[in-house]
Structure 1
Amino acid sequence: MREDEILLLETSFAEVYAARDAAAPLFYERLFVHDPSLRRLFGDTDMAAQGQKLFSALRLVVASLRNLPAVVPVLEDLAVRHVSYGVRDAHYETVGAALIETLSLYFGPRFTAEMRAAWTSAYATVAQVMIAAAHRVSAPEAGLDADAHLRPAPAAVL
């Protein structure tokens, strides 16, 4: 990822992080609009606490953009936990759509094509790492492709 993209992610995240108490509920609203069946994965979870976890994870990723290998084990552990919650590959696409939509609504006309591309690319990298880790733990039981993580990343990712 280029330095200007990293700076764009850092500055835009700092702004939305400051408003996380409003942004997190907006994210989950958009997530459940995109796929109402995902609500069942959260059960009786305290959604305010869940929003804090979401923003803590995003903060870690954004802070690690210049050293992505450092955050990969954390993302892999997170993915393994998400498998036990019932998260599937298709859910990552839905989460990505909800994230981009949330940012678009938050920033309005300031959500430029460049900002959208940077966030989309960063999320694609996170999702790819997490899906690969999920496949490694799920492959024996579910017949998933355990070697999916060996495939090259799309050109537009970090």
Structure 2
Amino acid sequence: MTPDQVKLVQSSFSKVAPISEQAAVMFYDRLFEIAPQVKSMFPADMTEQRKKLMTMLAAVVNGLGNLESILPAASALAKRHVGYGAKAEHYPVVGAALLWTLEKGLGDGWTPAVADAWTTAYGTLAGFMISEAYGRSQAAE
């Protein structure tokens, strides 16, 4: 990621943070709409899960300027997700739900440059997490 992409992700996320509860609801609603098979991996009461999502996103976004600082936590998270039944092929679906949520949440602020920055950020992190959880060969697919 370029320094400009990091700034775009961070500045756009600061506009989503005030509506974090609504954004988390939108994200999971979209995820379960496009991938209903993953719903069974989540608790019936999603309140705590939505908070965890937004806390994790905030930590990742804030750490993008020093990616090495967030990689140990991302690695641990990826390995925990395996235990929940997550598979490498779920990462693109989660990314699609995240980008859709950001696009809806940011409205006119979702510019091509912001979309590209978020796509790059998610792709970088997802690739790392997949390689940590499942090995390098699946991350390359």
- Of structures 1 and 2, the larger Rg is shown by 1
Residue equivalent to 2:8: 8
Partner of 2:93: 94
CA distances 1:7-34 after superposition (whole Å, capped 9, x unpaired): 1111111110111011000000110111
Q: Which runs of 4+ in 1 moved over 4 A?
A: none
Post-superposition CA distance 1:96-145 (Å, at most 9, x none): 0000000111112321110000001000111111101111xxxxxxxxxx
Q: Residue 20 of structure 2 aligns to which amino acid in structure 1?
A: R
In 1: Cα distance, 2:26 partner to 2:37 partner: 17
Gaps of 5+ in 1: 136-145, 152-158
What secondary structure sits across from 1:89 in the alignment? coil
How big is the alpha-carbon RMSD for the aligned residues of Structure 1 and Structure 2? 1.5
Q: 1:150 to 1:130 in 2, by over 3 A?
A: closer
Deviations 1:45-83 (A, max 9, x none): x31211111111111111111111111110010011100
Q: Which amino acid aligns with 1:133?
A: E
Q: CA deviation at 1:150?
A: 8.8
Identity of aligned residues (%): 39
Rounded to whole Å, the distance in 2 between the matches of 1:150 and 1:13 is: 26
Indicate how the Cα distance of structure 1 residues 147 and 111 shifts in structure 2: closer, same or farther if over 3 A, else same: closer
Residue equivalent to 1:71: 70
Residue 103 in structure 1 maps to residue 92 in structure 2 = no
With the length of structure 2 as denominator, give the TM-score of the two structures. 0.93
Query: Would the aligned equivalents of 2:30 and 2:97 in 1 still touch at CA under 8 Å?
Result: yes
TM-score by length of 1: 0.83
Higher relative contact order (CA 8 A, sep 6+): 2
Q: Check conservation: 1:79, 1:131, Cα contact below 8 A.
A: yes
CA distance in 1, matches of 2:29, 2:136: 34
Is the 2:9–2:118 contact (alpha carbons within 8 Å) kept by the matching residues of 1? yes
- Looking at secondary structure, tell me which structure has more helix per residue: 2
